[in-house]
């Protein structure tokens, strides 16, 4: 009796938690304390259900490479002029490489100095014979980072919309897929994510009172900017204000690379390398403004505002700010994308209207309800009382599945609804296997209790094998699929795992409860 009580209590707890978890997803005005208990988790509607924007964008990496090479060309040209080792006409920009000619190519000491300069300041370039071009590995990495930088810039901008469950993902080598469910101003959204990131360095004005500025008394030559963060768990945007001097001290064009490093305290920081002009400019800035705070600003969002502790003259600097590894990596990508902008071209733009989404919800829910009613009716008609027990497990299955989707903050799509309907079918299928095994045992004249026990035991491995096979299929769909296909795979995977519990435990415990209360001589099946 004790194991039955334990299972009954376990199922009752699951049912209570499920009801408690689902309410915020279906009732928007749920009290704040209720949402806080479940970590503000709730199920969201996908693009196909609530409308929004679906974009496929192409990152023009070849243009980005050309722009990068031209910046390096300008820097190298400035170097040979400054050091009197050549003339401007000794270098020629050829789109894919930089050609050397004239006296510079004949001057071996000058070529040696140029090689050392490239080694120290342009590590992605190589001098081979009479041309300077990208190293193959550096070129491949740069193209990859150009796309990664574009993704990060878009994510930063889309987060400022405060949208629930936006999706920004790479597709192939140079494509980015953007899904923005529920977006109201489509034109504004497209315009926002299509802009090129602008990185600037400005001084924080600590001489004037920030609160006075927030109350409307902004000093002349200053502006108020914010460090904006979006919490994907609470779906809230937080803003920290800064009083910033408008004058731009330096922009992102001076940055040649940025990467994550570890400081002496084993904490992640972002290391930044500047080109020669940028190194000189940054050296002058940090010498002049030692002890003041320098704001690093991307698209008017203050990323960081560290104190300049000492002059930085070597062209290399580090940005610290108690970053996690993920935050440091994101900042490095943002800095690289700011310094090395890659043009983005929209090649597919689909806008899904909210009316179509509402129709999809109506049709999907109607299909699920009709299917459930038909299945419930059939099970009661064919298996009688045992069918009613199976129907209880079916309702449990749907309840637990909806709760899991809510707790994980999953996005429900139309294929996801199809996954729920498929789960209903699998739930019934499992119970049909069990009930047919029980019927076989009863035909052999075995007592009801033994027939039930044997029925579950004999059906166990068949059910397990079918569910594991389906789970592998769902895993493949999730790994190789995208968008709605992944939504279907997630729903199906959760449904499979929950169905194993409800079909093998949820129904079995009811049979055990009945047999413990009285000795069964006949079973309605």
Question: Per 3-state DSSP, what percentage of the chain is helix, strand, and coil (rounded to 5)?
Answer: 55, 20, 25
CA distance 455 to 475: 30
Q: Is the pLDDT of residue 492 over 90?
A: no
* The pair of three-digit structure tokens given for residue 143, joined into one six-digit string: 């193209």
387-438 confidence digits (pLDDT tens): 888 888 888 888 898 888 888 877 777 788 888 888 888 888 888 888 888 8
47-78 confidence digits (pLDDT tens): 777 777 888 888 888 888 887 888 788 788 88
18-47 confidence digits (pLDDT tens): 888 888 777 767 777 776 777 667 777 777
The stretch 264-280 carries a mean pLDDT of 86
Q: Going from the N-terminus, what domains does the chain have, and what CATH number goes with each?
A: 2-46+353-517 (1.20.1640.10), 54-60+143-348 (3.30.1360.200), 73-139 (no CATH)
Q: What is the DSSP string of 486-517?
A: HHHHHHHHHHHHHHHHIIIIIHHHHHHHHHHH
Q: Is the pLDDT of residue 359 over 50?
A: yes
443-468 confidence digits (pLDDT tens): 888 888 888 888 898 888 888 888 89
Q: What is the DSSP string of 171-228?
A: ETTTEEEEEEET-S-HHHHHHHHHSPP-EEEEEB--SS-HHHHHTT-PPTTEEEEEEE
**Greater confidence, 362 or 240?**
240
């Amino acid at each position: 009796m004790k194991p039955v009580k334990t299972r009954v209590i376990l199922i009752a707890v699951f049912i209570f938690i499920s009801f408690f978890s689902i309410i915020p997803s279906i009732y928007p005005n749920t009290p704040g304390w209720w949402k806080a208990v479940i970590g503000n988790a709730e199920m969201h509607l996908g693009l196909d259900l609530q409308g929004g924007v679906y974009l496929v964008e192409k990152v023009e990496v070849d243009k980005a490479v050309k722009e990068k090479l031209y910046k390096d060309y300008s820097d190298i040209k400035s170097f040979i002029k400054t050091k009197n080792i050549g003339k401007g006409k000794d270098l020629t920009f050829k789109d894919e490489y930089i050609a050397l000619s004239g006296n510079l190519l004949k001057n071996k000491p000058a070529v040696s100095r140029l090689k050392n300069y490239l080694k120290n300041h342009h590590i992605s370039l190589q001098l081979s014979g009479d041309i300077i071009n990208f190293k193959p590995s550096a070129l491949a990495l740069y193209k990859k980072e150009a796309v990664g930088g574009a993704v990060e810039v878009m994510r930063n901008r889309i987060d400022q919309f405060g949208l629930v469950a936006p999706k920004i993902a790479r597709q192939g080598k140079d494509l980015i897929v953007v899904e923005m469910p529920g977006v109201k101003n489509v034109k504004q959204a497209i315009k926002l994510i299509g802009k090129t990131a602008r990185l600037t360095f400005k001084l924080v004005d600590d001489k004037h009172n920030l609160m006075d500025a927030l109350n409307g008394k902004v000093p002349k030559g200053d502006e108020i900017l914010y460090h904006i963060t979006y919490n994907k768990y609470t779906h809230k945007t937080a803003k920290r204000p800064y009083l910033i001097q408008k004058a731009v001290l330096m922009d992102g064009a001076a940055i040649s690379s940025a990467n994550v490093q570890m400081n002496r305290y084993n904490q992640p920081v972002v290391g930044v390398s500047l080109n020669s002009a940028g190194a000189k400019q940054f050296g002058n800035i940090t010498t002049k403004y030692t002890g003041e705070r320098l704001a690093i600003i991307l698209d008017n969002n203050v990323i960081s505002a560290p104190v300049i502790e000492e002059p930085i003259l070597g062209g290399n600097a580090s940005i610290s700010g108690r970053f996690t590894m993920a935050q440091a990596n994101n900042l490095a990508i943002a800095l690289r994308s700011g310094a090395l902008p890659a043009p983005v071209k929209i090649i597919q733009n689909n806008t899904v209207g909210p009316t179509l989404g509402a129709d999809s919800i109506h049709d999907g829910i109607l299909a699920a309800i009709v299917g459930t009613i038909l299945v419930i009716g059939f099970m009661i008609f064919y298996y009688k009382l045992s069918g009613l027990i199976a129907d209880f497990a079916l309702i449990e299955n749907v309840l637990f599945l909806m709760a899991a989707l809510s707790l994980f903050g999953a996005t429900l799509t139309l294929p996801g609804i199809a996954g729920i309907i498929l789960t209903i079918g699998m739930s019934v299928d499992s119970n049909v296997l069990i009930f047919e095994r029980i019927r076989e045992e009863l035909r052999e004249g075995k007592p009801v209790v033994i027939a039930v026990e044997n029925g579950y035991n004999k059906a166990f491995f068949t059910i397990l094998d079918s569910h594991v096979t389906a789970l592998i299929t769902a895993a493949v769909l999730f790994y190789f699929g995208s968008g709605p296909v992944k939504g279907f795979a997630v729903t199906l995977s959760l449904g499979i795992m929950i169905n194993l519990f409800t079909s093998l435990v949820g129904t079995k415990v009811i049979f055990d409860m009945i047999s413990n209360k009285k000795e069964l001589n006949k079973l309605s099946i």
